[in-house]
Structure 1
């Protein structure tokens, strides 16, 4: 028995999609609605021209929006009907999605649907509270269900290698003025009226060092922006890498859907994620990671999972800006 009408379900899916995670909160998507079908399009004007030349992070972000719409439709009582990259002549058309047959949402779907607006990205260290192994296993199963793999890195030496690659990439990028200016472009000053980018209340002014040290993007570069983090929290948390067997545009969308499934499920258990894409933006470092630690699979996201009691703010563009 459907909870909402098809039209109401479409409206709920559109509103939910706004809250998907995206690189630097660029929100690089737009939507068009025809009847009961939503077209999800990549907004290439919001692509990071220095950091994300191939558009990989752009499509991961769009994949996260697609999974969010799927979840919202299921919560509304419909099984989503999805076509990914349906038109080769329209490369910016990521997918179409519409409500299909009525379907009763299960408990986990409803749980994840409740996290769509609540989930936040963390950009500092975590507390020493442990992420349950049972939850990590469930997150890995969820990623597998979307066609990706969530590799939890338990070996300390491997964790240190990933941290070292992140430090190396961050060190090189920090010396590149183009990278730095692109990051700063998406850092919102305090009290800014913009509805995109990373708010000053969502990143630390100076982040405490995790052990091992995973550096964050310097959104506060040459500014006194950001918040004062919890200095007692120093844990790196659980390090995990999201991978796919192949590395094409459809695989990047798959990675985005798997990522959002993991994040919503984790958030439902009060577990947050911090992202580290620096090493994945440098071809040789990404290839090293792929061949030396990931059995030839392609790394799409490096993340740390953990528990924090810090409240983060977030902003999203109004739906009226996204429809066209």
Structure 2
């Protein structure tokens, strides 16, 4: 049975769009827009929010949009509808990434409900983790979630490989910090304390004086010399956590969208079990470093995300633009 009344359609679409807005995105750029035509949602890339220097090809933008697509799918399943999704449906409209319709009514999926409930709770972490262990069985579950979406999540077990990933992340951060154009681009998405903006990285979203993990994974510098950051006690947050790399076999626009969907499914499952994630994309924004990782550590697959997973007691406040700001006429 399909959605029948206009009221049902409106309610379902509104819920799905609201869920989409809470997807993670690079620097919280929220690089998406939506169109609605009856019971069809069109997901589009918003090129005005693309990082034109750090993400010239739009890879991170499409990964972000893939995460938004996953949220729409989960919302529909949680409401009891089978999502009908077409990815990159029109070659003549490259900004149109997907169309989604609520299909046949089906029993509400318990797993989807669980993940859907985490959508607004999930937060990006930008520091170390506590020493509390991540259960191996949970790690296996996260690997299975990524695999179910057509991507591969590989926990990095080798200490040597972890050191390589940490070192290459620090090297990329050091190089990028010397690039004036890249630094100015980052400044655009760094929010000072008290800012009313509903996008970008808030000053409360990272510690003022973060402790170094062992080995150390460099974080982005959103402060630019200002005394910004939260005052949370980071005394126990010195663990690197579980290091993992998300890869895909190909590196097309469709692969990037797939990576985004897999990433968000992993993040929500992790959040449901008390885990947070920290992202490190600096090396993946430099072709030669990304290619080195692909050949030396990723079994020839394309690295789409480097992350750390662990337990933290910090709960930041998320900021998102209202849905009305993201709607476009079709």
Q: Name the TM-score class by shorter chain.
A: over 0.9
The alignment status of 1:239 with 2:243, answered yes or no, reads: yes
Please identify, of 199-208 and 210-219, the stretch whose mean Cα deviation from structure 2 is larger. Answer: 199-208
1:320 matched to 2:327: no
Q: 5+ unaligned residues in a row in structure 1: which ranges? A: none
The answer on whether the counterparts of 2:2 and 2:103 sit within 8 Å (CA) in structure 1 is no
- Indicate if the aligned counterparts of 2:26 and 2:64 stay in contact, CA closer than 8 A: yes
Equivalent residues of 2:127, 2:210 under 8 A apart: yes
Measured in 1, the distance between the counterparts of 2:273 and 2:106 equals 25
- Number of the residue aligned with 1:305: 309
For the residue of structure 1 that corresponds to 2:166, the secondary structure is helix
User: Quick one: distance in 2 between partners of 1:187 and 1:265?
Assistant: 28
**Deviation of residue 182 (structure 1)?**
1.3
The alignment's TM-score, normalised by the length of structure 1, stands at 0.98
One of 188, 193, 212 as aligned partner of 1:209: 212
Deviates more, 1:155-164 or 1:223-232: 223-232
RMSD: 1.3
- What is the CA–CA distance in structure 1 between the aligned matches of 2:312 and 2:58, rounded to whole Å? 31
Deviations 1:119-142 (A, max 9, x none): 000000000001111111111111
Structure 1 SS opposite 2:278 = strand
Q: Matched residue of 1:303: which SS? A: strand
Deviation at 1:7, TM superposition (A): 3.0
Q: Which residues in structure 2 correspond to 1:14-33 (within 5 Å)?
A: 14-33=17-36
Please report the TM-score for the alignment, with normalisation by the length of structure 2: 0.96
Q: Using the alignment, how far apart are the partners of 1:319 and 1:281 within structure 2?
A: 29
Q: Distance in 2 between matches of 1:113 and 1:91?
A: 29
| Distance of 2:154 and 2:168 partners within structure 1 | 17
* Runs of 4 or more consecutive aligned structure 1 residues displaced over 4 Å after TM superposition: 1-4
The number of aligned residues is 324
Give the conservation status (yes or no) of the 8 Å contact 2:131–2:236.
no
Shift of 1:2: 8.7
State the 1:192 CA deviation. 0.6
Q: Does 1:271 align with 2:275?
A: yes
TM-superposed CA distance for 1:185, in Å, is 1.2
Deviates more, 1:251-260 or 1:7-16: 7-16
Task: Tell me how far 1:206 sits from its aligned partner.
Answer: 2.9
1:195 has 2:183 as partner: no
Question: Would the alpha carbon gap of residues 111 and 310 (structure 1) be closer, same or farther in structure 2, given more than 3 Å must change?
Answer: same
Cα deviation, 1:11-51, whole Å, max 9, x if unaligned, reads 11001101000000000000000000000000000000111
- Secondary structure at the counterpart of residue 305 of structure 2: strand
Note the C-alpha offset of 1:228: 2.7
Q: Aligned with 1:5: secondary structure?
A: helix
The answer on 1:178 being equivalent to 2:181 is: yes
